């Protein structure tokens, strides 16, 4: 504890202000050239040269003539520098800690012991935080909480235990009992990590990312002046409650995020500590020791308020940014898809038209001069061109469906089914099927697309009932399957049916079951149905058995759904 | 390809694809819908022909042009640009322009009509439907439709 104690005869005003702003990024590991060796030394030198004044600054915060320091800023600086620059630089900290104690008049053995305890604390803190995947920018609420827990509560037990035990073993007289000294040491280090560590990390991440807070400089200067002035006022007066400073924490955290939170916390903590130590403000009541706990609790809650708020704001902002980036990406992808569709529609169709046209022309005009096999082969060319043309058309239709705007209205499905059936010209069938369309509850859907669904499903049913003596097609609906769902609509036939194992494959594009290979079609109808139903937020499925007909059922999303 | 004396063409076909050109001409001649067709291969040439500039500086005034069959995807000057030029030219805007293209996209169609196309026909891939389309278009614009005076 001697380390934090200003001996009565030692002037404390020579302590320098820590300059953590100039933390460089980690240096390269190439060791072959002498220049690199010098560069390797930059980080440890920087750590030592900032730690030493920070330690002396801690001594400035001490209550005169006591061994209790309410805050130990050096612990924050040390943990932050190990996190940012790498744990391998711990020897620099050890040397600086030792020198700070030694030059403060502590005997060498005790200085070494206390320096070892402190260095251990910093290493434990940095290791635990790394393990816990705490990002140095403290931009997530989780990071702030883990940083507080591991860096501010757990790690300081190391230095407190080693330091207090060394003091106890040495011949330095302790004015307090062991637990009191341990607790003060632990709290001082913890607050140091929480307040100054977070401050250093905030400054480092602002500097390394190059990102400046969104609000302007004028607002920043205004906040700084107001914070210092209010803090001064609060802690000079014994009556003003320190809670009036909390709105500033909110302002700083919300507007300036980590940098603002760290800044106001540093300012308030410094003014509060200095004032309390020198006997003014709300916390300077009674003797020295009892003042400490309220001050420390205040500092911790102030710091946590600002940091958690800042992290919440940062998380929201970054998730907003991610969302915007994803939206842009999606738009780009959509455009790409559209360009692709365009290519398919234009560039593939033109040559296909030529293949089809000229093979047809040759057949028409020179067909008699061709051999039988030659004519058949040329016919194959023509037929395949036709098939490919239909494939391209359905591909385009399907892609058009995906981009088309859904115009939902209240629709009578029975009417849509009747209109679809009308377009199919069922009366022109060799054996027209018996089509029964039941009354159905209305639904909210795109009328054109719903009609398309019925056209494809009824058309399918017609196709698969052609070999039946009496083909029956029934269109109807059943009650909703559960709360918040719309009715289930269906189209049932007594046709060829299908193997239930393939129920899902029926809806895949260009998928045709082998037993239906002789029937016309290219396997796009049900894919289009699935796409339309999907766009409505509904589901479609098929039930059936070979030889016993099929039933296609679908929903069009929750009732009353609006675009 | 000059099918007739070009000043007296009834149809101006703006088409860069020789295959499509052959198919259109084949249909028009076979069905005897129209024998007076003049063909240009790009947009710039189309405008030169219509305005009597450039390579067509010395042509006599055109008479009897009743339809421009315009492909959209053209070299040098795009079909949309040609359409815009025609429809903003007080001398040419009266001539009916039928866009005849493979581009089936909504935005092409919208843009075509916005620029003043009189009709928009997508070239079918299958030959029978293609010839039917050419036949119907020519029958309508050269037969049924009353040409501007």
Q: How do residues A323-382 score in pLDDT, each as one tens digit?
A: 999 999 988 887 787 777 767 767 788 889 999 999 999 999 988 899 999 999 999 999
Q: Which of A248, A258, A251 is nearest to A314 (CA)?
A: A258
Residue of A488, A486, A436, A431 lying closest to A458 (CA atoms): A436
pLDDT averaged over every residue in chain A: 81
- The neighbouring-strand residues paired with B40 are B14
- The residue from A403, A424, A459 where one domain ends is A403
Contact A353 B103 (CB under 8 A): no
Cα–Cα distance, A314 to A432 (Å, whole number): 67
Contact criterion met (CB < 8 Å) for A354 and B103: no
Q: Per the structure, how many domains does chain A have? A: 3
CA A351 to chain B, closest CA, distance in angstroms equals 9
**Inter-chain touch B104–A389, beta carbons under 8 Å:** no
Say what percent of chain B tops pLDDT 90: 55
- Greater confidence, B26 or A483? B26
Helix or strand holding residue A497 (H, E): none
pLDDT tens per residue across span A379-433: 999 999 988 888 888 777 777 777 777 888 899 999 999 999 988 888 888 888 8
The pLDDT of residue A61: 66
Q: Which helix (H) or strand (E) holds A396?
A: helix A372-403
Q: Find the CB nearest B105 among A345, A352, A356.
A: A345
B127/A361 CB distance under 8 A: yes
Q: Which residue has the higher pLDDT, A3 or A504?
A: A504
| Paired strand residues for A444 | A410
Q: Is residue A107 part of a domain?
A: yes
pLDDT in tens, A80-113: 999 888 888 898 889 988 988 888 777 888 888 8
Answer yes or no: do A394 and A429 share one domain.
no
Distance CA A382, CA A378 (A): 6
Mark yes or no for CB contact A353/B19 under 8 Å: yes
Chain B: residue whose CA lies nearest to A352: B125
Residue A85 host element (H or E): helix A73-85
Same domain, A79 and A176: yes
Contact A356 B17 (CB under 8 A): no
Residue that wins the pLDDT comparison between B33 and B53: B53
Count, residues in chain B: 149
Which backbone phi and psi does A8 adopt, to 5 degrees? -50, -30
> A432 phi and psi, to 5 degrees?
-55, 135
Among A202-211, A441-450, B105-114, whose mean pLDDT is lowest? A202-211
Handedness of CA A473, A474, A480, A485 (dihedral sign): positive
Mean pLDDT of B126-145: 92
Q: How far is CA A558 from CA A406, A467, A477, B133, in A?
A: 15, 38, 15, 44
- Rounded Cα gap, residues A285 and A300, in angstroms: 19
What's the CATH code, domain B6-143? 3.40.50.2300
d(C-alpha A154, C-alpha A162), whole Å: 14
Sign, CA torsion A305/A306/A308/A313: positive
Least trusted range by pLDDT, from A344-353, A545-554, B1-10, B89-98: B1-10
Burial degree of B75 (CB within 10 A; 0-12, 13-18, 19+): exposed
Partner-chain contact A357 B124, CB within 8 Å: no
**Which residue, among B48, B117, B40, has the nearest Cα to B74 in the 3D structure?**
B40
Judge if A453 and A384 occupy the same domain: no
Please give the Cα distance from A374 to A366 (Å, whole number).
11
CB contact under 8 A, A345 and B26: no
Count CA atoms within 13 Å of residue A335 on its CB side: 6
* φ, ψ of residue B97 in degrees (nearest 5): -115, 120
What are the respective helix, strand and coil percentages of chain A, to the nearest 5? 65, 5, 30
Whether residue A446 sits in one domain with residue A348: no
Whether B123 contacts B101, CB under 8 Å:
yes
Q: Are A280 and A240 in contact (CB under 8 A)?
A: no
Does A465 lie in the same domain as A339?
no
pLDDT of residue A496: 84
CA distance to partner chain B, nearest, from residue A349 (Å): 6
* Strand, helix or coil for residue A17: coil
Minimal Cα–Cα distance from B61 to chain A, Å? 34
**Separation of alpha carbons A187 and A114, rounded Å:** 16
Could you list the residue range(s) of the whole structural domain that residue A478 is in?
Answer: 409-554
Lowest mean pLDDT among A75-89, A455-469, A511-525, B55-69: A511-525
Residue A377: per-residue pLDDT: 92
Rounded Cα–Cα distance for residues B40 and B43 (Å) = 8
Which is nearest to A269 in space by CA: A197, A163, A183? A197
CB-CB neighbors (< 8 A) of B106 in chain A = 400
Residue A250 lies in a domain: no
CB A193 within 8 A of CB A125: yes
**pLDDT category of residue A290 using cuts at 50, 70 and 90:** low
A178 and A47 in one domain?
A: yes
Asked whether residue B84 carries a pLDDT value surpassing 90, the answer given is: yes
Place of tokens 């991610």: A322
Cβ atoms of A101 and A111 within 8 Å: the answer is yes
User: Is A389 in Cβ contact with B125 (below 8 Å)?
Assistant: yes
CB A208 within 8 A of CB A91: no
Q: Output DSSP code: residue B93.
A: T
Average pLDDT over residues A51-67: 72
> Are residues A461 and A365 part of one domain?
no
CA distances to A414, B10, B75, B94, B146 from B81, in Å: 47, 22, 11, 17, 26
The encoded tokens of residue A225 equal 């002046």
pLDDT at residue A273, rounded to an integer? 81
The predicted structure's pLDDT at residue A24 = 42
Q: CB-CB: which of B102, B105, B130 is closest to A357? A: B130
Residue of A nearest to B105 (CA): A342
Confidence category of residue B100, pLDDT binned at 50, 70, 90: very high
In this complex, the residue of A346, A352, A358 whose CB is nearest that of residue B73 is A346
Please, what is the average pLDDT of chain B? 87
| Subunit contact A358:B17, Cβ cutoff 8 A | no
Residue A246: inside a domain, yes or no?
Answer: no
SS3 at position B120: strand
| Cβ count within 10 A of residue A357 | 24
B19 vs A contacts (CB less than 8 Å):
350, 353-354, 357-358
In A109-155, the DSSP E strands lie at none
Least confident of A112-121, A171-180, A350-359: A171-180
- With beta carbons less than 8 A apart as the criterion, state whether A350 and A357 touch: no
Task: For chain B, give the longest Cα–Cα distance.
Answer: 40
In a shared domain, residues A394 and A457: no
pLDDT of A100 reads 85
Regarding whether A15 and A155 lie in a shared domain, the answer is yes
The backbone torsions φ and ψ at residue A467, rounded to the nearest 5 degrees and listed phi first, read -90, 0
Query: Which of A403, A427, A450 finishes a domain?
Result: A403
Given pLDDT bands bounded at 50, 70 and 90, which one contains residue A5?
A: very low
Question: What pLDDT band is residue B107 in, cutting at 50, 70 and 90?
Answer: confident
- Domain check: are A373 and A505 in the same one? no
Nearest to A527 by CA among A504, A551, A494, A501: A504
Query: Using CA atoms, how far apart are residues A125 and A93, in angstroms rounded to an integer?
Result: 14
| Euclidean distance between CA atoms A66 and A175, whole angstroms | 8
Q: Give A-chain residues touching B102 at CB under 8 angstroms.
A: 345-346, 349-350, 353
Provide the angle, in degrees to the nearest 10, between the axes of the packed helices A178-191 and A288-343.
30
CA distance B19 to chain A (A): 6
The packing angle between helices B127-138 and B18-30, to 10°, is: 60
Sequential DSSP letters for A530-547: HHHHHHTT--EEEEE-TT
Residues A354/A360, Cβ–Cβ less than 8 Å: no
Q: Is A360–B127 a contact, with Cβ atoms under 8 angstroms apart? A: yes
CB contact (8 A) between residue B125 and residue A396:
no
Smallest CA–CA distance from B16 into chain A, residue: A350
User: A353 and B20: CB-CB below 8 Å?
Assistant: yes
Q: How far apart are CA A415 and CA A421, in angstroms?
A: 10
A357 contacts in chain B (CB < 8 Å): 19, 23, 127, 130
Query: Could you tell me the CATH number of the domain that includes residue A475?
Result: 3.30.565.10
**What is the rounded CA–CA span in Å between residue B145 and residue B149?**
12
Reported as a single tens digit per residue, the pLDDT across B16-45 is 999 999 999 999 888 778 888 899 999 999
* First-to-final CA distance of chain B: 27
Residue A314 is assigned to a structural domain of this protein: no
In a domain, A363, yes or no: yes
Contact A382, A359 (CB under 8 A): yes
A24 lies in the same domain as A152: yes
CB contact under 8 A, A392 and B130: no
> To which H or E segment does residue A436 belong?
strand A434-437
Chain A residue set in contact with B, beta carbons under 8 Å: 338, 341-342, 345-346, 349-350, 352-354, 356-358, 360-361, 385-386, 389, 392-393, 396, 400
**Distance of residue A342 Cα from the nearest chain B Cα, in angstroms:** 7
- A403 to chain B: nearest residue by CA? B106
Has residue A241 been placed in a domain? Answer: no
- Whether A306 maps to a domain, the answer reads no
Interchain contact, A356 vs B125, CB within 8 Å: yes
Taking Cα atoms as reference points, which of A54, A322, A314, A77 lies closest to residue A209? A314
Q: Which two tokens stand for residue A353?
A: 């038209």
Mutation target among A348, A351, A353, A362 for the B interface, most CBs of B within 10 A:
A353
Which of the listed residues A163, A183, A202 is the one where a domain comes to its end? A202
| Binary contact (B125, A392; C-beta < 8 A) | yes
Q: Measure Cα distances from B88 to A409, B48, B52 in Å.
A: 41, 15, 17
Tokens of B40: 């240009």
**Residue of A212, A307, A207 whose CA lies nearest to A263:** A307
Cβ count near A376 (within 10 Å): 10
- Per-residue tokens: A155: 């790690």
Instruction: Say what the pLDDT of residue A13 is.
Output: 37
Nearest-by-CA chain B residue for A347: B102
Report the alpha-carbon distance of residue A424 to residue A466 in Å, rounded: 14
Higher pLDDT, A485 or B40: B40
Tell me, yes or no, whether A324 lies in a domain. no
Q: Are residues A357 and A469 in the same domain?
A: no
Quick check: A345 and B125 CB within 8 A?
no
Predicted local distance difference test score (pLDDT) of residue A213: 64
């Amino acid at each position: 504890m001697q380390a934090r104690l200003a001996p009565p005869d030692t002037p404390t005003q020579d302590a320098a202000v820590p300059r953590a702003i100039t933390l460089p990024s980690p240096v390269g590991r190439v060791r072959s050239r002498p220049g690199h060796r010098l560069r390797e030394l930059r980080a440890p030198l920087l750590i030592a040269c900032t730690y030493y004044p920070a330690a002396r600054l801690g001594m400035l915060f001490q209550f005169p003539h006591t061994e209790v320091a309410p805050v130990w800023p050096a612990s924050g600086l040390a943990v932050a520098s190990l996190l940012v620059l790498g744990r391998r630089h711990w020897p620099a900290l050890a040397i600086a800690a030792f020198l700070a104690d030694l030059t403060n008049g502590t005997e060498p053995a005790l200085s070494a012991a206390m320096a070892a305890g402190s260095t251990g604390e910093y290493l434990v803190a940095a290791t635990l935080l790394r393990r816990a995947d705490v990002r140095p920018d403290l931009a997530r609420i989780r990071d702030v909480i883990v940083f507080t827990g591991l860096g501010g509560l757990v790690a300081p037990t190391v230095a407190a235990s080693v330091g207090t035990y060394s003091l106890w073993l040495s011949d330095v007289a302790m004015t307090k009992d062991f637990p009191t000294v341990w607790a003060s040491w632990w709290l001082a280090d913890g607050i140091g990590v929480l307040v100054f560590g977070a401050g250093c990390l905030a400054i480092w991440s602002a500097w390394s990312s190059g990102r400046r807070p969104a609000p302007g400089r004028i607002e920043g200067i205004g906040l700084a002046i107001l914070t210092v002035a209010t803090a001064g006022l609060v802690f000079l007066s014994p009556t003003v409650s320190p809670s009036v400073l909390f709105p500033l924490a909110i302002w700083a955290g919300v507007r300036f995020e980590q940098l603002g939170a760290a800044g106001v916390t540093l300012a308030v903590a410094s003014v509060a500590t200095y004032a309390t130590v020198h006997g003014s403000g709300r916390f300077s009541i009674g003797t020295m020791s009892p003042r400490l706990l309220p001050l420390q609790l205040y500092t911790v809650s102030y710091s946590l308020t600002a940091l958690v708020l800042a992290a919440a704001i940062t998380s929201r902002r970054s998730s907003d940014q991610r969302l915007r980036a994803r939206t842009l990406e999606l738009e780009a992808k959509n455009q790409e898809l559209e360009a692709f569709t365009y290519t398919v529609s234009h560039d593939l169709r033109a040559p296909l038209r030529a293949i089809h046209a000229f093979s047809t022309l040759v057949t028409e005009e020179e067909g008699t001069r061709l051999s039988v096999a030659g004519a058949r082969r040329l016919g194959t060319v023509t037929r395949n061109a036709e098939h490919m043309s239909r494939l391209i058309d359905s591909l385009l239709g399907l892609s058009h469906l995906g981009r088309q705007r859904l115009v939902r209205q209240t629709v009578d499905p029975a009417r849509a089914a009747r209109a679809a059936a009308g377009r199919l010209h069922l009366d022109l069938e060799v054996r027209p099927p018996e089509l029964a369309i039941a009354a159905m509850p209305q639904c909210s859907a795109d009328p054109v697309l719903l009609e398309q669904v019925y056209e494809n499903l009824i058309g399918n049913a017609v196709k698969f009932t052609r070999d039946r003596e009496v083909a029956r097609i029934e269109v109807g609906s059943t009650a909703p399957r559960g709360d918040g769902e719309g009715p289930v609509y269906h189209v049932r036939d007594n046709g060829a049916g299908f193997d239930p194992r393939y129920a899902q494959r029926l809806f895949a594009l260009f998928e045709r079951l082998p037993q239906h290979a002789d029937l016309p079609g290219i396997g796009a109808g049900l894919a289009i149905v699935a796409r339309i139903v999907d766009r409505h937020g509904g589901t479609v499925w098929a039930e059936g058995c070979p030889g016993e007909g099929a039933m296609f059922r679908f929903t069009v999303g929750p009732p009353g759904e609006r675009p | 390809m000059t099918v007739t004396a070009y000043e007296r063409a009834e149809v101006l076909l703006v088409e860069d694809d020789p295959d499509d050109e052959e198919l259109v001409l084949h249909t028009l001649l076979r069905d005897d819908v129209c024998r007076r067709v003049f063909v240009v291969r790009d947009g710039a040439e189309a405008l030169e022909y219509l305005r009597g500039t450039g390579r067509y500086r010395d042509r006599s005034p055109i008479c009897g042009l009743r339809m421009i069959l315009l492909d959209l995807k053209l070299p040098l000057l795009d079909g949309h640009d040609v359409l815009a030029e025609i429809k903003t030219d007080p001398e040419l805007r009266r001539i009916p322009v039928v866009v005849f293209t493979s581009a089936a996209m909504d935005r092409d169609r919208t843009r075509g009509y916005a620029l003043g196309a009189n009709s928009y026909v997508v070239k079918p891939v299958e030959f029978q439907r293609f010839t039917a389309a050419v036949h119907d278009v020519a029958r309508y614009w050269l037969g049924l439709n009353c040409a501007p005076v």
